[in-house]
Amino acid sequence: MKLIENVSRHVSRRGFLQGALASGVFVLSVRFVPEPLWAAEGDAAAVPFEPSLWMSIASDDTVTIVAHRSEMGCGSRTALPLVVADELDADWSKVKIEQAIGDPKYGDQDTDGSHSVRGSFDLMRRVGATGRVMLISAAAAQWGVSPKDCTTEPHFVVHRASGRKLGYGEVATAAAKLPVPKQEDVPLKARSEWRYIGKESNSLFDLPEIVTGKAIFGMDATMPGMVYASVEHPPVLGQKIKSYDDKAALKVPGVQKTLTIDVFKPPHMFQPLGGVAVIADNTYAAFKGRNSLKVEWDVNSSPHSVYNSAPFRKTLEATSRRPCKVVRNVGDVDAAFAKGGKIIEAEYYTPHLAHASMEPPVAVAEYRDGKVLAWAPTQNPQAVQETIAGVLGIKKEDVTCHVTLLGGGFGRKSKPDQVAEAAVLSKQLGKPVKVVWSREDDIHFDYFHSVASMYMKAAVGSDGKPTAWLQRTVYPPIGSTFNASATYADDEMGLGWNNLPFDIPNHRAENGPADYHVRIGWLRSVANIYHAFAISSFADELAKAANKDSAQYLIDLIGPPRIVALDLKGDEAEDAKKYPLDTARLRRVVEMVAENSGWGKQAMGKGHGMGIAAHRSFLTYVATVVEVEVDGRGQVHIPNVWTAVDAGTVVSPDNIRNQFEGAAVFGTSLALFSEITATNGVIDQSNFHNYQITRMNRAPRHVDVQIVKSEAPPAGVGEPGLPPFAPALYNAVFAATGKRVRELPLSKTKLV
């Protein structure tokens, strides 16, 4: 099935690199023979260089820059155009951003993996700089001077000697007739010349529209003549409809009719779940009609009704106690364990999580004459094209996907099953359909963050340092979403498991198999959440067992400055060339955060403590200290969080602080409150009363974020703040109470 081949490439969270060249809109350029440049670097850089795809300049001075990545709150839609504008030397107030539709010509558009800026930074610089060279050339020709004697200031070309100026809009038409210069003839600005990159003044492009309610999210998208749909999905993954009664539903004012959607054929990928759709004049009527539906499900039609979280946990734990598949081996842990000495073991458990973006899944789509037009809050418009094409049996080129702002995404909105539902229903109805998921739909039918069990074992020498460290992790893998027989993790190993940065002579990392019973997906920082929880909790356990200071012990574990040797493949190996795992950078963020938090300098009373953790993910080095106060009722309060971040070169520092402040809140949710469980294959939670996320009164009171000044290549920002948070908090709880808790969330454990 073509859909499988195409969409399953999302497992690598990249792909779609075979960009077909389309004619551009860049008024600066004529069409030219593309150069297949930078093919090894991935992302947008891997498609042929064609500046006309990315920007245009109108004679009224308006610079339009295309944002090919989605905006879900991380700032990508602003950051990449800022980079273009900087190298173009444009006046930001004259820049408009045009959101790209899904099209392989932009390279990979999947806004996930914290790689928007790192994947497109160099290309965006080159796009802007190319435009600047062409504007200078056009102005110089008009003046009859050498381009070498000209420079720019925002939105003007300037002749240095005479001081003459021409506005970008004035020379745009002439510049458009010039050939696009070769890369070697396009100088980039020196860092000292950057006007926008790295500046505190940068703010989100859409900020004014957001605060006035004018911003258009997926929930706000409309099409003329559209109807509204709410879908009753199978309560257990893969169940089929046995029968249904819609008499009461059809009596609800505003309800037009009901339709069925076929259940997916495994693997489920991003296909619709199936079910009964209620079509209505407005969202409320669709919801109300749906509540009146009576659907009987064929309970024998799915193997997943066996799923019960408590026994499943026992299965995961049993697997984690047995030898599993080796994913990294250094030295010989078995020989070291055989020598005896002090052996420390621990087991950690983390539950499923739901993304619970504030905007539930929603989309509007119209099928007409064999083509589909969709508007959706999607992290990946190309996956919308692929999925709808596969489900409806049309060409992906015949699916046009416009991208709205996303009311949060966190990985959920890389999966466009609800957009496919809208397209399927529209084909049946012959008019545009808006599918709106309720919060209950969102929580019941998520692509869940995986439940995981970790087993850790260390042999400790007389100095308290480990001589051997074994780590084993077991969970239903993301791969099961694309291959129903997948039981072992794949790319998740690179997410904090096959790259332990500690200086330990004998080390082995393993991964065990697990079956899936719900759709498994990626959630902000993905497997790093449970991997960092186990590793950073265990490091703290070893520190305490050795009676050492936790921060100093962590620094000793990281060891001397070096590039850690890793045996990596594919994307990870490519990343490692440009972004080697550098322990000096990890150590520096630990030292910074210890210094900034006053680590070890403050006397802590009963119920009061600090914890520390460090983790590198998405190529960014992060260390976090969490301070907790545990009150007489056992409730945890978080007066302070300190984080130090080395993300290499940064575009918008204030946005990065916002991302890391937010990661502390998101981290508080999963550390203290959130858990998804299943009973007989049905998810137990439904809305924010039983799937709790952090409210203001339980959030960290103060989050301090320090950014390392760095000229290293840009790394990830949206996700890396999350992994060290929960272990730092749990380590603080241990410091405050002497209780070592080894499972998320903390609300399941009585501290008093």
Partner 1 sequence: MIRFKVNGKEKTFNGDPDMPLLWYLRDVAQLTGTKFGCGMALCGACTVHQNGAAIRSCSTSMKEIGGTEITTIEGIAPMHPVQEAWMEIRVPQCGYCQTGQIMQAIALLKENKNPSDQDIDTAMAGNLCRCGTYQRIRAAIHQAAKQQSAKEMA
* 697 interacts with partner 1 by CB under 8 A: yes
* 558 interacts with partner 1 by CB under 8 A: no
- Cβ-proximal residues to 697 (8 Å cutoff; 6+ apart), any chain: none
Q: How far is the CB of 224 from partner 1 (least distance, A)?
A: 12
Q: Which of 191, 214, 242, 322 binds partner 1 (CB under 8 A)?
A: 214
Q: Are 79 and 97 in contact (CB under 8 A)?
A: no
* Only segment of 116-124, 130-138, 386-394, 650-658 that touches partner 1 (CB under 8 A): 650-658
* 462 interacts with partner 1 by CB under 8 A: no
Nearer to partner 1, 597 or 655 (CB): 655
* 198 interacts with partner 1 by CB under 8 A: no
Amino acid at 433: V
Cα separation, 570 vs 647, whole angstroms: 22
Q: Which of 153, 695, 748, 752 binds partner 1 (CB under 8 A)?
A: 695
| HEC sequence for 582-609 | EHHHHHHHHHHHHHHHCCCCCCCCCCEE
* Only segment of 10-18, 187-195, 326-334, 654-662 that touches partner 1 (CB under 8 A): 654-662
Cα separation, 499 vs 447, whole angstroms: 26
Amino acid at 515: D
Edge-to-edge strand order for the sheet containing 63-67?
55-57, 63-67, 95-99
* 251 interacts with partner 1 by CB under 8 A: no
Residues 47-76: x where in contact with partner 1 by CB under 8 A, - otherwise, as a string: ------------------------xxxxx-
Q: How far is the CB of 666 from partner 1 (least distance, A)?
A: 5
Cα separation, 427 vs 326, whole angstroms: 48
Count the neighbouring beta carbons within 10 Å of the beta carbon of residue 462: 9
Site size with partner 1, rule: CB under 8 A? 67
* 360 interacts with partner 1 by CB under 8 A: yes
* 664 interacts with partner 1 by CB under 8 A: yes
* 407 interacts with partner 1 by CB under 8 A: yes
Nearer to partner 1, 77 or 608 (CB): 77
Nearer to partner 1, 192 or 212 (CB): 212
* Only segment of 33-41, 351-359, 417-425, 642-650 that touches partner 1 (CB under 8 A): 351-359
Cα separation, 343 vs 322, whole angstroms: 17
Nearer to partner 1, 180 or 523 (CB): 523
State the burial class of residue 678 (Cβ atoms within 10 Å of its Cβ: 0-12, 13-18, 19+): buried
Q: How far is the CB of 671 from partner 1 (least distance, A)?
A: 13
Amino acid at 707: I
* Only segment of 80-88, 511-519, 572-580, 657-665 that touches partner 1 (CB under 8 A): 657-665
DSSP at 258: E
End-to-end CA distance of the chain: 56
Count of helices and strands (H, E) across the chain: 18, 26
Q: How far is the CB of 300 from partner 1 (least distance, A)?
A: 33
* 108 interacts with partner 1 by CB under 8 A: no
Nearer to partner 1, 639 or 738 (CB): 639
Show the tokens assigned to 519: 């759709």
* 665 interacts with partner 1 by CB under 8 A: yes
Nearer to partner 1, 44 or 255 (CB): 255
Nearer to partner 1, 37 or 215 (CB): 215
* 661 interacts with partner 1 by CB under 8 A: yes
Cα separation, 584 vs 588, whole angstroms: 6
* 689 interacts with partner 1 by CB under 8 A: yes
Measured in whole angstroms, the distance separating CA 527 from the mean position of its chain's CA atoms is 12
Residues 698-717: x where in contact with partner 1 by CB under 8 A, - otherwise, as a string: -xxxxx--------------
Question: 543 φ, ψ to 5°?
Answer: -60, -45
* 359 interacts with partner 1 by CB under 8 A: yes
* Only segment of 116-124, 177-185, 400-408, 527-535 that touches partner 1 (CB under 8 A): 400-408
* 693 interacts with partner 1 by CB under 8 A: yes
Question: 365 φ, ψ to 5°?
Answer: -145, 150
Question: 424 φ, ψ to 5°?
Answer: -60, -45
Nearer to partner 1, 3 or 443 (CB): 443
* 215 interacts with partner 1 by CB under 8 A: yes
Count the neighbouring beta carbons within 10 Å of the beta carbon of residue 476: 25
* 719 interacts with partner 1 by CB under 8 A: no
Torsion of CA 310, 314, 320, 321, to 10 degrees: 150
Nearer to partner 1, 479 or 745 (CB): 745
Q: How far is the CB of 343 from partner 1 (least distance, A)?
A: 40
Percentages helix, strand, coil for the chain, rounded to the nearest 5?
A: 35, 20, 40
Q: How far is the CB of 617 from partner 1 (least distance, A)?
A: 18
Q: Which of 7, 79, 373, 406 binds partner 1 (CB under 8 A)?
A: 406
* 204 interacts with partner 1 by CB under 8 A: yes
Residue that is written with structure tokens 């971040």 in the block: 645
Q: Are 85 and 95 in contact (CB under 8 A)?
A: yes
Show the tokens assigned to 612: 């520390």
Distances (CA, A) of 270 to 209, 413, 418: 31, 10, 9
Distances (CA, A) of 525 to 2, 112, 355, 496, 745: 29, 9, 12, 10, 17
* 248 interacts with partner 1 by CB under 8 A: no
Q: Which of 219, 424, 576, 729 binds partner 1 (CB under 8 A)?
A: 219
- Interacting residues with partner 1 between 415 and 444 (CB under 8 A): 436, 438-439
* 282 interacts with partner 1 by CB under 8 A: yes
Q: Which of 603, 591, 585 lies closest to 646, judged by CA?
A: 585
* 249 interacts with partner 1 by CB under 8 A: no
Q: Are 128 and 88 in contact (CB under 8 A)?
A: yes
Residues forming a β-bridge with 36: none
Nearer to partner 1, 314 or 702 (CB): 702
Q: Are 35 and 148 in contact (CB under 8 A)?
A: no
Show the tokens assigned to 30: 């004529």
**Contact residues: partner 1, CB under 8 A:** 71-75, 203-204, 206-208, 210-217, 219-220, 222, 228, 253-254, 282-285, 287-288, 356-360, 405-410, 436, 438-439, 654-655, 658-659, 661-666, 687-689, 693-697, 699-703
